[in-house]
Amino acid sequence: MSLPQELIDSILDEVNDFASLKSCSLVASSFRYPSQRILYRCVRLQDNYGAIRTLLQDSPHIASYITILHISFATSDGRPVDTESLERILESPRLTNVRRCILKQGQWGELAELFPALIRFLSGQKLHELRFFLISGIPGVYFLQFLVLAPKLSFIAMAVEPTAGDIPPPPSFEKMPREMSLAMLCETVCELLLRPEGLPYIANLQALAITRMCRNLEFYGLRLISSVRNNLQHLHLTDPVDMPDPLPSFPALVRLTLDVGRPHLEWPWEYISTLLAPTASPHLQQFIFIVTYWRRADVNLHLQSLVDAALESHPNGPSMVWVITFGRDDKRSHLAQWVSKIQAGMPRLHASGRLAIEVRYDDERVARLA
């Protein structure tokens, strides 16, 4: 008696072991195809361009299983990238279901000849997200063409050269990105986006995340926030230090997230409480505060009370979520003490049921991010 295909699919969805899935992909078709769908859901291209090219030529159906594609333009041993194989991969007729693409580790000199093939490929996908990591030297006129290819864009250590040549026409409204994340050495990206030719590409931003890694990024990041604040619904700031003065208002902001890393007594509670005021964020629904536990730090009850009062008096009734990361060796009794102090420092929110505390542990967090 054969098992129903739905049952086989459900069983294989719970298998996280690569070797077991590989074995299943070598047996009957009822196991082979769903196993391959899981195995090749995410494909990383770096030293294996030739092997993946051969795989997609011999088994073209596998291309349709790929939904996450990493493309590295630097090999692990320093050899030149096999650009011919990469172009053949990008031209695979059934490679049409990529939803997240990550482009990483490349100089424009290495990418220039691949640019037309990359744009054709990315334009043919229904991307949800396009990420850039350690990419440098892209001329602004080419960089702008990437900005209309996905609603969510992420940049880490991205460097753009000054704009030269014919500027592409401004994007149509439906092509404008809606989410953007910037971190680590993205000053030139911010600078281009704030120029007249770049502003149309951020006119519809509804979610923005900025990680402060250097003073220049902080400077450009704050200018970027001010430029998009009217439409911004979600703002995520990591390690915020210097804040603009006077403070801009956010007429559409729904959720504010602050990730301050390790706790300090100098948490910017005064700034936070001002930002949470109804005059600054009239539509606010949630404030998320992310912190990593540190046993030598304490919770400042007086400063917490400023935020407690600001949220309690807000006519929209926003809630607050503390997200606390604990290490493997941190004692659980310390967690209980922190929870008690947080609740004591925010009695109004706690009493009204609008205070939540989420705990993460390092081992679980690493597993989720892997």
Q: 327 lies in a domain?
A: yes
Tokens of 265: 């007594």
pLDDT at 361: 75
**Token output for 257:** 């997230």
Whether 58 is covered by a domain: the verdict is no
Q: What is the chain's pLDDT, residue by residue, as a tens digit (370 residues)? A: 465 555 454 545 555 655 555 554 555 555 566 667 878 888 999 889 999 999 999 999 999 999 999 999 988 887 888 899 999 999 999 999 999 999 999 888 878 889 999 999 999 999 999 999 999 999 998 999 999 999 999 999 999 988 666 677 888 888 899 999 998 788 899 989 999 889 999 999 999 998 865 556 567 778 888 899 999 999 998 876 555 555 678 999 999 998 877 655 455 667 777 888 898 999 999 999 888 876 656 666 667 888 899 899 999 999 999 988 877 666 666 778 888 888 988 999 999 999 999 888 765 543 333 2
- Which residue in 166, 160, 171 sits closest to 132, CA to CA? 160
Q: Is 211 part of any domain?
A: no
Work out the number of other CB atoms within 10 angstroms of the CB of residue 51: 11
Cβ atoms of residues 177 and 144 within 8 Å? no
Q: Does residue 311 belong to any structural domain of this protein?
A: yes
Q: Supply the pLDDT for residue 102.
A: 97
pLDDT of residue 109: 82
Whole-number pLDDT of residue 95: 96
User: CA neighbours within 13 Å on the CB side: how many for 334?
Assistant: 17
**Number of domain units in the chain:** 2
Q: Is residue 293 part of a domain?
A: yes
Is residue 367 one of the residues assigned to a domain?
A: yes
Domain extent for 341: 229-370
Q: What is the pLDDT of residue 265?
A: 46
Got the DSSP string for 183-235? ESS-HHHHHHHTSTTTGGGGTT--EEEEE--SHHHHHHHHHHHHHHTTT--EE
| 348 within a domain of the structure (yes/no) | yes
Inside any domain, residue 115: no
